């Protein structure tokens, strides 16, 4: 009996190790409705002139995080955001968000915001393609910026472009 209990405990430990190594820390979101939508990124090289485009399916292919957070303004409440960080995306181009003094984020609804140097240096900026384990709704897709534990005014919806300024 003792041997059986040890075997069961070892099997349970191994299952946890396998699941953790398998990347179960992020939600698998069905982005098929907006997978081809593009975000234009200007200024990655520091000149302000170069443009790169990334699709939501390309974002999903990067190393992603799922973070449970809430805004400090309590307008939105608690959310679980899934997507890569801006730093993860910028690493594909040999850059980091800290390389820039200003980051402007624009949504198709005309709302935009410029992130301060403090936010750029201290915060994770998540390019969320899913919230609470679900695809983004039509009022937020194709991408929503989530900056954990910040004012929801920074949580731009319908992101279509990001401008990076040295």
CA dist., res. 156 & res. 111, Å (int): 7
Task: Determine the average pLDDT of the residues in 20-37.
Answer: 71
The per-residue pLDDT for 3 is 53
- Check residues 48 and 28 and name the one with the higher pLDDT: 28
57-98, pLDDT tens digit by residue? 999 999 999 999 877 776 677 889 999 999 999 999 999 999
Tokens of 153: 């005014």
**What is the C-alpha to C-alpha distance for residues 107 and 142, in angstroms, rounded to an integer?**
10
pLDDT tier at 14 (50, 70, 90 boundaries)? very low
Q: What is the pLDDT of residue 1?
A: 57
Q: Distance between CA 70 and CA 76 in Å, rounded?
A: 7
Q: Inform me whether the pLDDT recorded for 37 exceeds 90.
A: yes
Q: Which of 72, 48, 64, 73 is nearest to 162 (CA)?
A: 48
Residue 94 is predicted with a pLDDT of 93
């Amino acid at each position: 009996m003792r041997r059986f209990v040890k075997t069961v405990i070892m099997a349970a430990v191994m299952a946890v190790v396998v699941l953790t190594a398998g990347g179960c820390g992020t939600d698998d979101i069905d982005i098929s409705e907006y997978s081809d939508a593009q975000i234009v990124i200007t200024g990655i090289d520091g000149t302000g002139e170069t443009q790169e485009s990334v699709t939501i399916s390309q974002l999903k292919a990067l190393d992603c995080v799922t973070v449970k957070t809430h805004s400090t303004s309590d307008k939105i409440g608690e959310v679980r955001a899934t997507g890569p960080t801006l730093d993860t995306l910028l690493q594909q181009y040999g850059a980091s968000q800290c390389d820039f003094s200003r980051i402007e984020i624009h949504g198709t609804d005309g709302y935009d915001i410029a992130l301060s140097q403090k936010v750029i240096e201290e915060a994770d900026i998540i390019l969320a393609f899913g919230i609470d384990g679900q695809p983004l709704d039509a009022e937020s897709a194709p991408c929503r910026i989530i900056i954990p534990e910040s004012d929801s005014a920074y949580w731009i919806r319908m992101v279509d472009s990001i401008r990076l300024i040295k």
